[in-house]
């Protein structure tokens, strides 16, 4: 059974058009009936059963239609978060290679500059910047690296500051860290005008900006800084879509392909389930929350590229280099639209973009 053969699920759009007066409730009821049927089919794979259950539970929470049904695959002991993060970084090709590729692009862009400033939007706990600092040790001309970390979660930002500052004694160049506890759309980027050799990095961060207008404003503000590079990693799926039935199908295909890749990883069954439940939190956000409460509003790479071009950026298709063409069934290749795509079968799950 492939991803297009869920009984009656594709009838949802037609059903919705005929029930506009009570759209959400009826779409929900139809979708849930399909998912219950699907979960009980013996020929379904473990991943199909699990994602169907996660979607079913999220839909129940969104529309409050019936009880949330537990499933055997949801009853595993929880895997520690740090263990999951390590697996994502070391084994999961979407994370492993997108970070490797962008980090190398940052180092190449730094070149022979003596002073470099990196604005890292969504710096988190500083993990990516720690790898950049380590690689920057190979740059003989570098005298000063200023990292400006933008992060809405204060606890993570504090950890980033501690970890990045701890690197000062182990490098031959000066490190300065400036933390901004804010969402990207709250930052006045104009204060960074005239910054020499500026690189802006946004790894899985810009889709958290809630409105299209704010996304455009942030990109425009960055363009005014004339950075040497603006590097983005973004999921390639339309979860910005407000129509529930369309967003539901986008969500299903996106995460089911992620689950199929997880199934190919050389890790334990328990860790595989742990990773899937980790992504299940995103599924709940995409499907199970009111529009005003959603956080994971992903968009297609082509939409981000259109915004970049409309604000005066051009895409560079040569600097993003992958050390492998494929791993765990994920093909890594350039797309003519201007991004490096990570594709499982026919679903391009992730995109890396390098703009100048």
- What does CATH list as the number for 87-236+298-355? 3.40.50.150
With a cut of 90, say whether residue 112 has pLDDT above it.
Answer: yes
Question: How many other C-beta atoms lie within 10 A of the C-beta of residue 302?
Answer: 15
Q: What is the mean pLDDT of residues 123-146?
A: 96
Q: In what order do the strands lie in the sheet with 326-327?
A: 174-180, 144-150, 115-121, 198-203, 229-235, 347-355, 339-344, 330-335, 326-327
Region class of 255: left (phi > 0), else alpha (psi between -120 and 50), else beta: alpha
Which band of pLDDT confidence, cut at 50, 70 and 90, is reported for residue 14? Answer: very low
Using the predicted structure, report yes or no on whether residue 327 has a pLDDT greater than 50. Answer: yes
Assign 30 a pLDDT band (cuts: 50, 70, 90). Answer: low
pLDDT in tens, 236-259: 999 999 888 788 889 988 999 999
pLDDT at 40: 56
pLDDT band at 3 (very low <50, low <70, confident <90, very high): very low
pLDDT over 90 percentage in the chain: 64
Residues 6+ apart with CB under 8 A from 294: 285, 286
pLDDT at 54: 82
Question: Residue 17's pLDDT is what?
Answer: 44
pLDDT in tens, 59-75: 777 766 544 444 433 44
pLDDT band at 187 (very low <50, low <70, confident <90, very high): very high
Helix (H) or strand (E) run with residue 147 in it: strand 144-150
Alpha helices in the chain (DSSP H): 12-17, 23-39, 46-63, 81-90, 93-110, 127-136, 154-165, 212-223, 244-264, 269-288, 301-310
Domain ranges within the chain, ordered by starting residue:
9-75+244-293, 87-236+298-355
Query: How much is the mean pLDDT over the chain?
Result: 85
């Amino acid at each position: 059974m492939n991803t297009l053969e869920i009984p009656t699920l594709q009838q949802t759009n037609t059903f919705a058009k005929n029930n506009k007066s009570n759209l959400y409730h009826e779409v929900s009821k139809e979708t849930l009936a399909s998912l219950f049927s699907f979960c009980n089919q013996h020929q379904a794979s473990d991943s199909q059963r699990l994602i169907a259950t996660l979607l079913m539970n999220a839909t129940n929470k969104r529309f409050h239609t019936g009880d949330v049904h537990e499933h055997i695959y949801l009853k595993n002991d929880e895997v520690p978060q740090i263990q999951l993060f390590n697996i994502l970084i070391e084994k999961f090709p979407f994370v492993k290679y997108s970070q490797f590729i962008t980090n190398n692009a940052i180092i190449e862009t730094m070149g022979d500059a003596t002073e470099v400033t990196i604005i890292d939007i969504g710096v988190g706990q500083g993990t990516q910047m720690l790898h950049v600092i380590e690689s920057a040790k190979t740059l003989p001309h570098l005298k000063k690296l200023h990292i400006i970390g933008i992060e809405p979660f204060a606890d993570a930002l504090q950890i980033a500051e501690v970890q990045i500052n701890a690197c000062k004694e182990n490098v031959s160049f000066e490190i300065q860290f400036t933390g901004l506890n804010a969402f990207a759309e709250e930052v006045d980027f104009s204060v960074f005008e005239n910054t020499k050799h500026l690189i802006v990095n946004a790894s899985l961060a810009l889709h958290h900006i809630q409105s299209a207008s704010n996304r455009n404003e942030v990109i425009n503000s960055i363009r005014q800084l004339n950075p040497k590079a603006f590097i983005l990693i973004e999921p390639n799926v339309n979860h910005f879509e407000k129509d529930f039935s369309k967003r539901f199908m986008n969500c299903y295909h996106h995460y089911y392909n992620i689950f199929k890749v997880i199934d190919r990883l050389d890790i334990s069954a328990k860790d595989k389930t742990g990773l899937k439940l980790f992504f299940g939190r995103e599924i709940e956000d995409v499907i199970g929350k009111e529009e005003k409460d959603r956080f994971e509003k992903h968009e297609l790479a082509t939409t981000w590229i259109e915004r970049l071009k409309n604000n005066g950026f051009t895409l560079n298709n040569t600097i993003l280099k992958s050390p492998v063409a494929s791993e765990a069934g994920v093909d890594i290749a350039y797309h003519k639209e201007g991004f490096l795509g990570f594709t499982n079968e026919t679903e391009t799950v992730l995109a890396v973009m390098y703009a100048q």
